[in-house]
């Protein structure tokens, strides 16, 4: 049975109110903090994104004392947490990359042994940098299949060998976050020395801010972040709606002739780095007004002038912004896309493949990428492959405002971060059919 959907739309005026799910980025951090706090921290507005549901299920059952009952719990809750024997647990996180990174660090502090695995694509996504850092601390982690990649055999509980480790800043910020989340539980604490430029800095700042909400203090001097051993305090963490999800509605507004959209719950003082979409999309005539407990988007016709976009601090917006530029025929240059090749798919190659279907090239020169629209055309119909990547589906869906029929392959991939995406698209006046 095909999981493809065909998207179309009569008219190019969009007017809707869209209630977004909780931020996956915030929620995943909050869930680990909740687990490490041993009940002192409570998470509110938990995201219904598949990644967050997976992580919540694993964390809330990973500490089950009566191992023989854990498989029953797994069946009841549909949690991916599986127990194969009293001494050997296998945890399958599926395609959830954030869960893989965060749990790699988390399970080093938990008793017993765990095999941490995922989908075939997950087994191709590197994790050696994080494993090396944890091994420096003294953690016992082995590779089950290929060095540097999941699955991992993690033997929990270790004697800390050092309180200071170095890690490169130009890799996934999730490696850094994974280490920071467990730092306060380490007997000697942690001094994390970041080498070189820090990619996705807002995500690291988000982690530290949420830890601070839970009572965990830090210092950040030059390139060193230090967290001493300390206790979590009793508190609740409210997860803000997802700015990454909001970006697709900004794209809809940018491609519409007229648009007025209201996204409740979003604030101008968000912890989420992707809230910078308000500034980026202002270049495409989208104004953002924060009032009535949310943000109003409105399209104002204006020429697009900006030619260079640095997405180093917000790489998850890359597909959205690049597709908007291609759709509008706006030639622009992008930097800060270094991490895109190790995401759910090689997002650079995926974008090149799919943009070519409308004659647009994404030209790579070193670490600079240029959108070339010199041969751009608007087809009557287009079929978009998603490569097991939720953001490919959602970034290309707004093309239905320009192209009469847009077919999205494996459309349920959006469940990873935004399960209600297609229903929300219907609310905004799009026709979505199998």
224 and 283 share a domain?
no
247 and 265 share a domain?
yes
- Alpha-carbon distance of 178 to 175, in angstroms, equals 5
301 and 233 share a domain?
no
Residue corresponding to tokens 């809707």: 16
- Alpha-carbon distance of 56 to 270, in angstroms, equals 23
pLDDT by residue for the chain (434 residues), tens digit each?
A: 369 999 999 999 999 999 999 999 999 999 999 999 998 999 999 999 988 999 999 998 765 433 333 332 333 234 343 333 334 588 999 988 899 999 999 999 999 999 999 999 899 999 999 999 999 999 999 999 999 999 999 999 999 999 999 999 888 889 999 999 999 999 999 999 999 988 888 899 999 999 999 999 999 999 999 999 999 999 999 999 999 999 999 999 999 999 999 999 999 999 898 999 999 999 999 999 999 999 999 999 888 888 999 998 899 999 999 999 999 999 999 999 987 877 778 999 999 999 999 999 999 999 999 999 999 999 999 999 999 899 999 999 999 999 999 999 999 999 989 999 999 999 999 999 99
pTM of the model: 0.82
Active site residues: 316
Burial class (CB in 10 A: 0-12, 13-18, 19+), 2: exposed
* Core vs surface per residue 346-383: b (16+ CB within 10 A) or e: bbbebbbebbebbebbbeeeeeebbbebeebeeeeebe
198 and 254 share a domain?
no
Q: What CATH number is associated with residue 336? A: 3.65.10.10
Asked whether the beta carbons of 320 and 286 are under 8 A apart, the reply is no
75 and 163 share a domain?
yes
225 and 361 share a domain?
no
End-of-domain residue from the set 177, 209, 238: 238
105 and 92 share a domain?
yes
Asked whether the beta carbons of 381 and 407 are under 8 A apart, the reply is yes
Query: Is residue 34 helix, strand or coil?
Result: helix
Closest C-alpha to 277, from 358, 395, 177: 395
End-of-domain residue from the set 238, 261, 290: 238
213 and 322 share a domain?
no
End-of-domain residue from the set 211, 238, 265: 238
Number of separate domains in the chain: 2
CA 102, distance to chain mean position in Å, is 13
Residue 87: which domain range?
Answer: 24-238
Does the N-terminal peptide bond of residue 164 adopt cis geometry, omega within 30 degrees of 0?
Answer: no
- Alpha-carbon distance of 169 to 133, in angstroms, equals 13
165 and 58 share a domain?
yes
257 and 398 share a domain?
yes
Strand partners, 309: 334
160 and 59 share a domain?
yes
274 and 225 share a domain?
no
């Amino acid at each position: 049975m095909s999981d493809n959907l065909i998207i179309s739309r009569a008219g190019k005026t969009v007017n809707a109110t869209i209630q977004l799910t909780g931020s996956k980025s915030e929620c995943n951090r909050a869930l680990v903090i909740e687990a490490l706090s041993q009940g002192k921290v409570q998470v509110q507005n938990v995201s219904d994104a598949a990644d967050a549901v997976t992580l919540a299920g694993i964390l809330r059952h990973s500490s089950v004392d009566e191992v023989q009952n854990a498989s029953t719990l797994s069946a009841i809750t549909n949690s991916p947490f599986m127990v194969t024997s009293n001494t050997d647990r296998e945890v399958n996180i599926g395609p959830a990359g954030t869960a893989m990174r965060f749990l790699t660090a988390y399970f080093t502090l938990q008793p017993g042994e765990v095999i941490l695995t995922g989908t075939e694509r997950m087994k191709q996504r590197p994790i050696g940098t994080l494993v090396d850092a944890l091994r420096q601390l003294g953690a016992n982690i082995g590779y089950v299949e290929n060095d540097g990649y999941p699955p991992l055999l993690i033997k929990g509980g270790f004697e800390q060998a050092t309180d200071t480790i170095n890690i490169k800043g130009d890799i996934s910020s999730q490696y850094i976050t994974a280490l920071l989340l467990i730092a306060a539980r380490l007997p000697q604490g942690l001094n994390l020395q970041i080498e070189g430029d820090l990619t996705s800095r807002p995500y690291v700042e988000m982690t530290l801010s949420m830890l601070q909400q839970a009572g965990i203090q830090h210092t950040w001097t030059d390139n060193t972040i230090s967290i001493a051993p300390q206790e979590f305090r009793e508190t609740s963490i409210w997860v803000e709606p997802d700015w990454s999800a909001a970006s697709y509605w900004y794209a809809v507004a940018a491609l519409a002739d007229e648009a007025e959209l209201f996204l409740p719950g979003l604030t101008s003082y968000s912890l989420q780095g992707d809230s910078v979409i308000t500034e980026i999309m202002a270049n495409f005539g989208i104004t953002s007004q924060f009032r009535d407990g949310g943000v109003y988007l409105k399209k104002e016709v204006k020429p697009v002038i900006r030619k260079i976009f640095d997405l180093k601090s917000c790489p998850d917006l890359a597909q959205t912004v690049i597709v908007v530029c291609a759709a509008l025929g706006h030639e622009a240059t992008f930097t800060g896309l270094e991490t895109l090749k190790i995401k759910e798919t090689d997002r650079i190659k995926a974008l090149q493949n799919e943009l070519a279907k409308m004659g647009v090239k994404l030209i790579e020169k070193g670490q600079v990428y240029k959108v070339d629209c010199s041969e751009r055309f608007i087809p009557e119909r287009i079929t978009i492959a998603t490569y097991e990547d939720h953001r490919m589906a959602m970034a290309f869906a707004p093309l239905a405002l320009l192209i009469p029929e847009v077919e999205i392959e494996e459309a349920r991939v959006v469940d990873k971060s935004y399960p209600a995406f297609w229903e929300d698209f219907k609310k905004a006046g799009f026709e979505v059919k199998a």
